[in-house]
Structures are given as structure tokens and as C-alpha cells.
Structure 1
Amino acid sequence: MASQAQAVVFLHGIGAGPDSWDAQLTALPDGYTGIAPQLAGLTGGEAFTLADAAAAIRDDFDQRGVRRAHLCGLSLGGMVATRFALDYPDRIASLVLSGSQVRPSPTLMRVQDTIMRLLPERLVAAPGMTKHDMLAVLRSVAATDFRAELSRIAVPTLVLCGTKDRANLSAARELAHRIEGAELQLVPGAGHEWNVQLPAEFNARLTAFYTRQDG
């Protein structure tokens, strides 16, 4: 597969799964093939880290025989994709980040952590996850600070964010500023999970990005 088509690896957010990318997997341009793995470490009560999740993606590459791939991540998946680009620069061809983060607001993360601890599990846990799992992931996200590292990313990068995804607009602008040559696209009327909400729009922007790389 890797020798005949360029692989695009889609990384999902914390409240979603690989099936959230179904509309993108079937709409890639000619010459591309899609992979949507399950992010590692989200369940089981172990300490989640972006580095471990990125290493699991690398291992998945090895198992599939994929030497180098395009990464497209949303939300937590975008943060894992960023970590991957930093840790394994020779394994990535391009980067698409949607609704991702650079350094989450410490104040907002503390408030979110406190609220989640007080609410019952059925109200806060994503499908397949316990409240303990969710809190472990949020602790790892809260400790993230990519600011000093982003200048090392040297692949074509597209930063996306819906105009209704207000919690991540500032981070989108900072990602595009700190990654040399990155392109920023703010999508009118789109929310956070707009790959599901507006799949045709997401697909069109993704196709245009990959077509430009080929050109």
C-alpha cells in the first residue's frame, strides 16, 4: 500500500473514535489512501501521554509497512499529531491540525478538572472511557506546552479552526505563527468537530491542500 499510494493517517479527538473520519476516508484524492487508528492509552487507567500515543502511531506505521505519511488530527488527535511531527520528523510528509492546542489555558483546565471530579461519571466520560481515564488524559493535555518546539516542524502544515470553535481560535493562530510556512484557514460557521458536521467542506479543504503539495 505505502509504495503505491500516499498514506493519510487521521487521528480522532477524545470524545470520538476512528469512525468519526469515515467521510474523509472515502473522499481522499487519487493517489492517497486513508488510515484511522484508535489512539492508544485512552482507556485502561494508565497514565496517558502524548509521547506514548505518538510512539504507538509510529509502531502502527511499522506494522503496516508505512515509511512516511501525512497526518491529520483533530483536537486531542491534533496534539498527538504535533507530538509525532516533533518526535519522528522523518516519518511525516505533511501535517493538518484542526481545533488543536499549543498550551491549554491552565485556569480553564483547572476549572474543567474540578467540574469533572464533581459530576457523575455518566455525564463526563466519553464512550468507552471511565471518569478516571478522562481525568488522566486531561492532566496530560494540561501539562502540554509546544511553544518552544513548534519552530522545529518543517513539513507543509495546514492549520484549521471553525469560527464557532472559540476555545481554540487563539491556539490556531499561534500554531500557524510558530510553525514556519504554515497556512491558517478559519472556517466560517464551523464548530469543533466540523469534520463530522460539515464533511464536504472539510474534505474540500483537505483535497486542495494535498493537491497543492503534489503540484
Structure 2
Amino acid sequence: MKKMESFDFPVGRRLAGKYIIQEKLGSGWEGEVYQVQEIHTNIVRAAKLFYPHRNIKFKRSTRFAKKLDLLADCSMVMNYHTQEIIKVKGQDIVCIICEFIEGEMLSKILDRQRGKRLPDFQALHLLYALAKGIESIHLYGEYHGDLHTDNIIVRRYGLGFDIKVIDLHHWGDSKKDNREEDIIKMIRVFYDALGGEKFYKKQPAAVKSIIKGLKRSLILKEFKTASLLRWHIENLDWEDGN
């Protein structure tokens, strides 16, 4: 199979006779993502197209679609709509059509903040929203697999956060290990949202009771599950961090 390293479809191109490309949203190891509009309804969707040499026998695209479908009741995860197959240079290309999420990447929001960080309480609300969302994914026996500030989309923030995650991964190894990695990555996002190493020493005990110096063993000793992390935040004593 000939490798296809990019599609680079132009704005205005039709996909599967049903969608018009409006914008390229990004690309990665598996393929490319576009903002598209349904021709007959004008509804905006997201379309993920898989490079054929990364999607042998449609295994990756099928896993991705099934994972989204399984997690349909998880509000943090985008909704799956349908699968299309299009021809590009004589090869079958799978196109997964999903909900288009309006919002802004967390990384861009942090870049605009004074000191590139959120206030403590606001960062804690962010972590709480993450913990609740990831908990719902874990309760289905699944995991995200690669949480960071560039794949968390914030639709609204203030006292509380309305967030979505993209780029769900399938690593093919222990799901338990990957769920634990989600917990580590959530706390890393919290740490980064607070300004990272530069501000960590001055953080209150309540914050340090969660971050624990980013020491994996200490984090997983107390927060064995996302549910325990969520419970800890709900019962946090800001005065002493217990």
C-alpha cells in the first residue's frame, strides 16, 4: 500500500457528495481533521480522515468509531454520527463524521492569562470538570490515553468549566495502566494550569495535596481511580489541604 502522508484538501471540496470542507482543523499520526458542512442541512460537523497505511483493514477507524459510540453518554466526549468511505488517488479512505465542538483549546486560554496561569480556585474547578468527565469514561472501562492542554476544548469557563476532550487513543496494552495514566495527566494539566514549576512552591497546601510534586507513586497511592480524585476535590479543606 502506497503511503499517503497528507490529504491537504482545499476549502470548498466535497466529501462523499454530502459535505463541503470549510477548514482544516489539524493533523496527526493517524490522519487529518476538517470542519465540514452538510450540504442539505448546513449543519457543521467534524470529519476525521485516516491515512490508509495507518488504517489497515479499517481497524483504527473502526476502533475509534466504536469507542465514541460506547461513550455516547459521556458529556465530555464528542458524539459519533456516521462513517463514510471516499476514494483518494485510487485508495479507500475512511472518514468518521462527528460532532463539531465549538470552543477554544485550553492551551490558548492559558496563553492569554496573566502569568499564563489560572487563579487557584479556577484551576481547581477545571480539574474537577476533568475528573468528573474522565471518571465517566473510566466507568465504561475505557480511557482517554493522551490528555494535555492541546486536546481539551473549553466551551465555557468562569466559576465552572464546560469542556470536551478530543484525540481519544487506543494503545493496545493494559486498560488499567492507561486509566492510571489519565489520572497522572489530569493532575499534570492542573499543575500546568497553575503556572507549573515557577509557581508551585507558593501553592497552598490544598493544591499540593493533589499535585504531590508530580510524583507518580504518591499520586496513585491516594488517587487510585478518577472517582477518588473527584471525591477528594469535593471534600477538600482549603485551610489545611486535607
- TM-score, length basis structure 1: 0.29
Query: Quick check: which one's strand share is greater?
Result: 2
Higher relative contact order (CA 8 A, sep 6+): 1
Higher-Rg member (1/2): 2
- TM-score, length basis structure 2: 0.27
